[in-house]
């Protein structure tokens, strides 16, 4: 086996992609003897354990530096004081949960203190249980499945060894949060791709989320997601603040997730990115059956709820149905109305939806859409391209809502009784034959179109309708279209490129090209006839 120091040196000089790929291939050794969902829990649980331990050790070194020159007993006591860690946003990690302890015993060596030899899986399970017991915000969050019979303990030990050896940048633990956060996101994306369509339940493509964030611009306030999956909306909101060099604590996140396994992923994902996860509640739960944030009024809401959900908790007397009771076999308009019910008077929201929501009239959906438009809470509709979600080629749309479209703090332009339509179906490029993505320029183009339309300070230029791409339509125009919201019917066709070639020159060029083509055809005809003659 490669010595740890040699591995560390090799990985320190590797590119980020090489690092990701190496870790993925190593983790992939575990596949085969367990389900995809369990495999995901195992690998991401180890990533989380490495993160909390690195952050703990980093804080531990800071304490040593702060207490330089103090009595040794005082320093020792302070190093083991949980408040010194928790008070600085770091989880308290007891001895048996520290990475150094687990790595030392990952090969089945005798544990410290003369205890009997334990499997690495058992050591990790005990570490997870201890972390949850000692940190209230982690209670009920971490997986304790590592010691099960269907997990190859030898390969698990090899995975621990790899994470122990790798120094992600060669810069020590100070970059642990950012780098391990990237690894976690990379793994989430890889698992989503591996699980196909089901992977979309917990993972929304980052380029799509980033587009929503760049449009909403959540600089401060409460950010809400009622179907938060693995927490990607919150992570991108925090990254938005980081890009603008603003206080990451300027936003507070609130979310809910109905699937236990995915809720655990979200809690770990937020912790790895240094985001307070208490807003995800003490446990998972169905948003329609029991809203765990009944008093929360959100400044921003972002969501990618399950599309066309047929089996959902529906109460026809629910106060959330301001614009009409959603159909029993489709929750799309239930999700949108729930989110609208959460918005503050100045609040804004972005909701990823199935394309059918833009024009459907079944089950009273057309009447609900009409009521929302007449109440002037719809601000923008974007038609997205297909293949953004790797597991399906089906295109999606994004609804943007705003409780206040007047001029003022939200923007300089008064957009009451108007809706911006953006047709982004041709935006982006294919990564491979099944996946499409956006470049930074693509995201900037879409976001700046909205910003200029709204008249925000961050806008670059002035808004103009662009045939085939964007159109600011009045409510009267939407009424004339029977309240259908498909962007294509409003933006029209792109303007044809102007042909600047003089007609005489074009005729001469085309004549020359046609003559050359006919001559080539004649030569090929002669060759074919000659070959047929030889066969006769």
Determine the length of the chain: 536
pLDDT digits (tens, 9 = 90+) for 362-394: 999 999 999 999 999 999 999 999 989 866 778
Per the structure, the count of domains in the chain is 3
Q: What letter does residue 71 receive in the DSSP assignment?
A: -
Residues of the chain with pLDDT under 70: 1-19, 26, 32-33, 35-37, 107-117, 165-180, 195-202, 390-391, 408-411, 495-500, 536
SS3 content of the chain, % helix, strand, coil (to 5): 50, 10, 40
Do 431 and 325 reside in the same domain of the chain? yes
Looking up residue 454, the CATH number of its domain turns out to be 3.40.50.150
Q: Which of 175, 208, 225 is the last residue of a domain?
A: 175
- Is 417 in a helix, a strand, or coil? coil
Residue 387 and residue 435 in contact, taking contact as beta carbons nearer than 8 Å: yes
Do 119 and 215 reside in the same domain of the chain? no
Distance CA 206, CA 490 (A): 28
Residue 9 region by backbone torsions, left for phi larger than 0, else alpha for psi between -120 and 50, else beta:
alpha
Query: Which pLDDT belongs to residue 107?
Result: 65
Report yes or no on 216 lying in a domain.
yes
Distance CA 176, CA 58 (A): 9
Query: Which pLDDT belongs to residue 42?
Result: 85
DSSP result, 338-376? HHHHHEEEEEEEEEEEEGGGGT--GGGHHHHHHHHHHTT
Report yes or no on 183 lying in a domain.
no
Q: Tell me which residue range forms the domain holding 270.
A: 195-491
Report yes or no on 242 lying in a domain.
yes
Do 401 and 258 reside in the same domain of the chain? yes
Q: Report the predicted TM-score, pTM, of the whole model to 2 decimal places.
A: 0.81
**Nearest by Cα to 2 from 165, 160, 169, 159:** 165
Q: Which two tokens stand for residue 430?
A: 């294919």
Residue 485 and residue 419 in contact, taking contact as beta carbons nearer than 8 Å: yes
Report yes or no on 180 lying in a domain.
no
Do 434 and 484 reside in the same domain of the chain? yes
Report yes or no on 318 lying in a domain.
yes
Find the helix packing angle between 232-243 and 206-216, rounded to 10°: 60
Q: What angle do CA 471, 475, 479 make, to 5 degrees?
A: 105
Distance CA 222, CA 250 (A): 9
Distance CA 443, CA 82 (A): 43
Report yes or no on 165 lying in a domain.
yes
Sign of the dihedral through C-alpha 478, 484, 489, 490: positive
pLDDT digits (tens, 9 = 90+) for 137-181: 888 889 999 998 888 888 888 888 877 766 544 444 445 566 667
Do 45 and 156 reside in the same domain of the chain? yes
How many CB atoms are located within 10 Å of the residue 53 CB?
24
Do 463 and 515 reside in the same domain of the chain? no
Counts of helices then strands in the chain (DSSP H, E): 18, 10
Which stretch of DSSP H or E encloses residue 422? Answer: strand 418-423
> What are residue 123's phi and psi, to 5 degrees?
-60, -40
Report yes or no on 225 lying in a domain.
yes
Query: Which pLDDT belongs to residue 73?
Result: 93
Residue 421 and residue 487 in contact, taking contact as beta carbons nearer than 8 Å: yes
């Amino acid at each position: 086996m490669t010595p740890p120091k040699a591995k560390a040196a090799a990985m320190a000089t590797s590119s980020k992609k090489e690092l990701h790929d190496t870790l993925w291939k190593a983790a992939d050794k575990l596949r085969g003897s367990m389900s995809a969902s369990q495999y995901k829990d195992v690998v991401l649980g180890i990533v989380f354990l490495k993160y909390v331990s690195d952050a703990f050790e980093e804080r531990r070194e800071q304490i040593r530096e702060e207490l330089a020159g103090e009595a040794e007993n005082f320093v020792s006591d302070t190093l083991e004081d949980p408040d010194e860690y928790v008070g600085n946003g770091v989880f308290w990690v007891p001895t048996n949960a520290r990475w150094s302890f687990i790595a030392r015993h990952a090969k089945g060596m005798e544990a410290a203190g003369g205890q009997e030899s334990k499997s690495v899986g058992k050591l990790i399970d005990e570490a997870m249980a201890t972390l949850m017991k000692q940190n209230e915000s982690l209670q009920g969050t971490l997986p304790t499945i590592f010691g099960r019979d269907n997990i190859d303990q030898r390969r698990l030990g090899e995975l621990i060894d790899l994470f122990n050896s790798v120094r992600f940048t060669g810069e020590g633990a100070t970059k642990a949060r950012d780098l391990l956060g990237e690894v976690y996101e990379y793994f989430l994306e890889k698992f989503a791709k591996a699980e196909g369509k089901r992977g979309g339940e917990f993972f929304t493509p980052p380029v799509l989320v980033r587009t929503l964030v760049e449009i909403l611009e959540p600089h401060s306030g409460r950010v809400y997601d009622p179907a938060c999956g693995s927490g990607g909306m919150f992570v991108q909101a925090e990254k938005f603040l980081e890009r603008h060099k603003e206080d990451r604590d300027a936003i507070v996140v609130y979310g809910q997730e109905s699937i236990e396994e995915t809720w655990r992923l979200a809690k770990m994902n937020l912790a790895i990115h240094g985001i307070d996860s208490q807003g995800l509640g003490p446990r998972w739960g169905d948003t329609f059956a029991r809203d765990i944030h009944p008093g929360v009024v959100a400044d921003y809401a972002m969501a990618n709820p399950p599309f066309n959900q047929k089996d959902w908790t529906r109460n026809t007397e629910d106060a959330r149905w301001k614009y009409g009771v959603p159909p029993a076999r489709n929750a799309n308009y239930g999700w949108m109305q729930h989110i609208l019910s959460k918005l503050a008077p100045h609040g804004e929201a972005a909701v990823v939806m199935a394309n059918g929501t833009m024009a459907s009239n079944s089950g009273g959906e057309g009447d609900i859409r009409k009521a929302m438009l007449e109440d002037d809470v719809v601000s923008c509709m974007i038609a997205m391209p297909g293949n953004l979600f790797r597991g399906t080629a089906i295109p999606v749309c994004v609804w943007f809502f705003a409780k206040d479209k007047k001029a003022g703090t939200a923007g300089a332009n008064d957009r009451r009784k108007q809706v911006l339509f953006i047709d982004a179906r041709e935006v982006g490029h294919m990564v491979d034959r099944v996946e499409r993505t956006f470049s930074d320029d693509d995201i900037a183009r879409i976001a700046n179109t909205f910003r200029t339309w709204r008249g925000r300070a961050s806008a670059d230029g002035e808004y103009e309708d662009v045939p085939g791409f964007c159109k600011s339509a009045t409510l009267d125009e939407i009424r004339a279209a029977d309240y259908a919201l498909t962007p294509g019917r409003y933006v029209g066709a792109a303007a044809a490129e102007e042909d600047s070639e003089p007609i005489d020159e074009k005729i001469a060029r085309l004549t020359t090209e046609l003559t050359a083509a006919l001559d080539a055809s004649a030569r090929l005809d002669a060759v074919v006839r000659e070959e047929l003659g030889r066969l006769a």
